[in-house]
Amino acid sequence: MNATKALGHYGEEIAARLLTETGMTVLARNWRYGRAGEIDIVARDGDTVVLCEVKTRRAGPFEHPMAAITPAKAARLLRLAEGWIERYGGPPPGGIRIDLVGVLLPRRGAPVVEHVRGVA
């Protein structure tokens, strides 16, 4: 595993733990839907299915993880939500929500984690 993939995997582990600690149930990790792409984490929040994009960055000159949701990325996430609905026979009772978890790794200390609900 290269350094970039390892960083992303570490951030996804942190995000999955955060979602679980806040009462969500993780249903799938790295869920793929054909050529549309991949959802980092699929979770259930009550009767809502949450498609969660995780962005991990090291502290430094790079963009903040929360700046990663561009209009193109949001459109891809919406296509993936449609794919989830298609594959699993319709929307869940609470619908589908798209969230973002940003993980910022400082040079020292604990990761800074931010969870934003309903980004797209």
Q: Give yes or no for residue 120 having a pLDDT over 80.
A: no
d(CA 11, CA 27): 17
pLDDT band at 116; cut points 50, 70, 90: very high
Q: Give yes or no for residue 36 having a pLDDT over 90.
A: no
Residue type, 109: G
pLDDT band at 18; cut points 50, 70, 90: very high
> Tens of pLDDT along 63-103?
677 777 788 888 898 999 999 999 988 889 999 999 999 99
Q: Edge-to-edge strand order for the sheet containing 25-33? A: 25-33, 37-45, 48-58, 96-105, 112-116
d(CA 16, CA 101): 9
Tell me which residue of 99, 96, 97, 114 sits closest to 14, measured CA to CA.
114
Q: Which domains, and CATH codes, for the chain?
A: 3-116 (3.40.1350.10)
Query: What pLDDT does residue 57 have?
Result: 86
pTM of the entire structure?
0.89
* Alpha-carbon distances of 18 from 1, 9, 43, 82, 104, rounded to whole Å: 24, 14, 11, 25, 14
Other beta carbons within 10 angstroms of residue 39's beta carbon come to 25
